[in-house]
Amino acid sequence: MAKPQEFDVFLSHNSRDKDSIRIIAEQLEEEGFITWLDETQFKGGDEWQKELYETLDKTDVVFFFIGINGVGPWQNEEIDYLHRLYISSGKQNIVIVPVFLPGANMYDVPSHLNYLNKFQSLSISDLLDRSQIDKLLKILLRNKTPKPKPSQPTVSYINLERLLSQGKWREADEETLMCILKVAGRSEYEYLFLENIDNLPRKDIRKIDKLWGKYSNGKFGFSVQQEIYLRDCAGETEFWEGMVGYREYNTAEKWTCFCKKVGWYNWLGQRKLYDELTFDDKKAPLGHLPQQSLLAIESASSGFLSHLGIENDYSHSNLEQLEKLLSLREWKLADSVTGFHLLQLVGRTNEGWLGAEDIDRLPCDDIHRINKLWLKYSNERFGFSVQKEIYISTGNILGKLNKDAYKLFVQKVGWKKQRDWGFNGGWLSYNDITFELAAPRGHLPVVDKRLRIIGEELHWRTSNQYDFSLLTYRFLTCGL
C-alpha cells in the first residue's frame, strides 16, 4: 500500500456534497495548497480504511464541511478520531474548522457533535464567491506555506489613487487608461479589441471603479456609467397587453445616446475634444469620467459597459415588481420580469441571453430571493428549487448535460410533449406555455427565450439545453 501523500488540509465531507467540495478544492489548489480529497487519493483496494487512519494521523488542518445533506457516516468517524487526537495533543497540533456549506447552519450539526461548537466556524453562501473562499485561505496561510505559483504581472493603483485623492481628474483619467492597457497586456498600444475586454480581470475593473467612486462621492466611475448606459441607452422596458417588452437601439445609437447622457457631446451634436471635457467634479455631468479608457475601446465600448458585471441598484425594484405580479398571479408577466432581472444583474440586457460565464456571476442572494417568491405565491409548485428537484429525480446531474435524462426532465415539467414527432418535435413554443397554477409542477419560471433556456427555438439549439444545465450548476454553488 502506498504511503499517504503529502497534503496541507484534510477536507472532511458528506459524499452527497462531493460536487460542492470539488469546487472548493479546485480553488484552494489554485492558490498553491494541496488538499486531501478521498476520490483523488484513494485508488481502491481492501486497505482504504487503514490508509484513511494513517492519513488522519498526519492531519494538522481539517475543514469539516456541513451541508444541507447533514453529516455522513464516515465523516462522523473522521471528526471523532481527529477530535480525540486534538484532545490528546493538548489542543495544539490540530486545527479543526467547521465550515457550513450554502444553505446550512449550526442547526444542521448533530447533537452528538456538539463539541464542534467550541471551534470557530465559517459559513460559505456562494462557492464561486472568491471573498468567501478567502476565509479558508486565511486559515491555511496562518498554518501553511503555499507552494509557489507561476509569477503573474501585477498592476499598482497607488498612483491612480494619489491623483484621484488630489482631485487631478484629467491625470487620473489618463492613468486609468494606462492601468487598463497594462492589465490587458496592451501597454504598447492605445486601444483594445473585444477579446481583450472579455479577458479583463473583473477584480481590476472593480478596483478602478471603487477608487473613482470613492474620491468623486459616487459621481464618476464605470458602475455609474454602466447604470446610465443600461437604464437610458441599452433599451427600455415597456408593459403592454400583459407582456414585458424590450425595445433595443442599434449599437451606434446606444453609444451616441450614452455619450450625450454623460456630456461628451456639445450643443451642435458633435463629440467634444478631450480638452473640452469638464475635469471638475462639481461641474461635470454624472458619469462624465473616466473617458479615455472607454474611447480606447469605442468599437466595443457598449460591450464593455454591458459586460462589466458591476452590481447596480436594479435588484430591489425588480424584486418588488416580481412579488407584486406573483401575488396577483400574473404568471406570464412574472416570468418575463424574472428573465429580465437575471439579465440586468450581469449586464446582459443588450445581448438578451446568458453564457456560461454570465451564469457563474449571477448573485446567489438574488437566485434565492427569486426562488422564495415563486415558491411562496405558487404554494411550492413553481420555482428554481422545484425544478432542481425534478432535474435530479429524472436522472440528471447538476451542471452536466445528458440528453436522454434532460428529455425526461423537460417532459416532466411540461416544456415538451411525450412524442418526438410533429411540429417542433414536441417542444412547446413560448406562447404554448401554461401560465396557470394548474400547470405541471416545476413548469415555471421558464425564463423565456431571451435567456436561451427554454423557448420557441430550443428544440434545434442544443446549446440551450446546455445553458440550462449550467444554470442548475449555479443552483448547486449557491446552495439552492
> Per-residue confidence at 312, pLDDT binned at 50, 70, 90?
very low
51 and 166 in a single domain? The answer is: no
470 shares a domain with 359: yes
Clarify whether residues 130 and 174 are in a common domain.
no
Measured between alpha carbons, how far is residue 246 from residues 181, 239, 336 in Å?
A: 34, 9, 10
Which residues fall within 8 angstroms of residue 422, CB to CB, at 6 or more apart? none
Is 321 within a domain? no
Same domain, 136 and 202: no
pLDDT at 432 over 60: yes
- 165 with 296, same domain: the answer is yes
3-state SS, residue 63: strand
Considering the domain boundaries, does residue 67 fall inside one? Answer: yes
Domain final residue pick, 307, 330, 362: 307
Domain that holds residue 436: 351-477
Residue 271 DSSP symbol: B
Instruction: Give the model confidence (pLDDT) of 296-310 as tens digits.
Output: 665 445 556 654 544
Mean pLDDT score across all residues of the chain: 78
Cβ neighbours for 388, distance < 8 A, ≥ 6 positions apart: 398, 472, 475, 480
Are 207 and 130 part of one and the same domain? no
The average pLDDT across 85-109 equals: 85
pLDDT over 80 (residue 429):
no
Considering the domain boundaries, does residue 319 fall inside one? no
**Residue 3 confidence (pLDDT) above 70:** no
Q: Are residues 440 and 300 in the same domain?
A: no
62 and 117 part of one domain: yes
In a domain, 385, yes or no: yes
DSSP 309: -
Which pLDDT belongs to residue 460?
A: 29
Read off the C-alpha cell for 271.
463629440
Query: Quick one: pLDDT at residue 250?
Result: 47
What pairs with residue 427 in β-bridges? 416
Q: Domain end: 277, 307, 337, which one?
A: 307
Backbone torsion region of residue 434, taken as left when φ is above 0, otherwise alpha when ψ lies between -120 and 50, otherwise beta: beta
What per-residue confidence (pLDDT) applies to 234?
Answer: 60
Least confident of 111-120, 363-372, 418-427, 451-460: 451-460
- Domain CATH code at residue 135: 3.40.50.10140
**pLDDT tens-digit series, residues 199-246:** 677 678 878 888 998 899 889 998 888 777 766 776 543 333 333 333
Residue 403 pLDDT greater than 90, yes or no:
no
Q: Please say if the pLDDT value at position 249 is more than 50.
A: no
Same domain, 129 and 165: no
Asked whether residue 182 falls in the same domain as residue 134, the answer is no
DSSP tag of 355: -
Calculate the CA 111 to chain-centre distance: 34
Per DSSP, the residues of 315-338 read: HHHHHHHHHHHHHTT-HHHHHHHH
Answer yes or no: is 323 within a domain.
no
Instruction: Mark which of 292, 307, 322 sits at the end of a domain.
Output: 307
Verify that 163 and 300 share a domain, yes or no.
yes
Residue 344, domain member (yes or no): no
The three cell numbers of residue 352 are: 438578451
The domain total for the chain is 3
Tell me whether residue 325 is in a domain.
no
Please check whether residues 112 and 207 belong to one and the same domain. no
Domain of 429: which CATH number? 1.10.10.1770
Establish if 91 belongs to a structural domain: yes
Report the share of the chain in percent with pLDDT over 70.
77
